[in-house]
Amino acid sequence: MELTFRKIQESDWDTLVSWWNEWRGWGINPPKDFLPENGTGGIMVCSEDKPIVAGFLYFTNSKGVLLEWIISDPKYKERNRKEALELLINTAEQVSKDKGFKYIFTIGRNKHLIKTHEKLGYKVDPSHSYEITKVL
């Protein structure tokens, strides 16, 4: 099955929400207006047009980009889920480089996600951290 990537579309929103709700231990689901471009500022990886994994890119006024809210279809059990995650991360890196950014940063607690980042050359801080958010 060939993997492809595309920009997240408005029509993906219900899919993303269902993924966040289905993963146990996910925690807080982000509202659209908390995400870049009101929920469309990211990348979706698909297998034969079936969405598999997505993540959002926060472009900053520094040389750094934040790759966040990485989520996958919890029902997708095919072997290429890891490949899809790697494609998402590598595509996020390339998009960021193409826009002139120098650094990419992400936060994660899922051991598989962390191992994938390590495999792709990311440095992982061994101490735990928490996402802390406040509605203003």
Burial (CB count within 10 angstroms: exposed 0-12, middle 13-18, buried 19+), residue 53: buried
Domain boundaries, the chain: 3-119
Q: Give the pLDDT of residue 109.
A: 77
Which mean pLDDT values do the consecutive 10-residue runs of the chain (136 residues) have? 93 95 80 96 94 97 95 86 92 97 87 83 80 72
Q: How far is CA 120 from CA 50, 51, 90, 111, in A?
A: 25, 22, 8, 14
**Amino acid of residue 72:** S
Residue 31 φ then ψ, to 5°: -70, 155
- Give the class (CATH, top level) of 3-119: alpha beta
Residue 92 φ then ψ, to 5°: -60, -40
